[in-house]
Structure 1
């Protein structure tokens, strides 16, 4: 299930809620998540941007432009 379908399903289930307490809890979760993302300065990527990054990563791997996990771990030990 892709992200758009998951969001639609979530909204449909949200609209069925009858508990004000449950709605309040979900509102608080959404506010916290939005605040966290805003503070990190993260922006979502379009599908095209994501595909471009995947293609670049695959090309880097094929051309041996990467570090192994053991190399990365050694750097921080």
Structure 2
């Protein structure tokens, strides 16, 4: 069954629902899915943004503004 047919079947079954609780749960699932799919929109950095980020990271490292991996791991243990 292709996705269009599955959507139609889902809508038919949804329209048969009589439980407000079930409808609310499905609305919440749909809302969450919409929010996560909005998060999937990815805007790549420009070359200039990437270079600035690299320069800042290197500067932070030279000026001892970083945490080691063992320090980070200890924080979450």
Q: Report the TM-score, using the length of structure 1 for normalisation.
A: 0.53
Count of matched residue pairs? 42
- Structure 2 portions without partners, runs of 5+: 43-77
* Corresponding residue for residue 4 of structure 2: 4
* Corresponding residue for residue 26 of structure 1: 26
Query: Hey, what's the Cα distance between the residues in 2 that align with 1:2 and 1:40?
Result: 23
Deviation per CA, 1:31-51, whole angstroms, max 9, x where unpaired? 000000001117xxxxxxxxx
- Structure number with greater Rg is 2
- Structure 1 portions without partners, runs of 5+: 43-77
Query: Hey, what's the Cα distance between the residues in 1 that align with 2:11 and 2:40?
Result: 26
Which runs of structure 1 show a deviation greater than 3 angstroms over 4 or more consecutive aligned residues?
none
CA RMSD of superposed structures (Å):
1.1
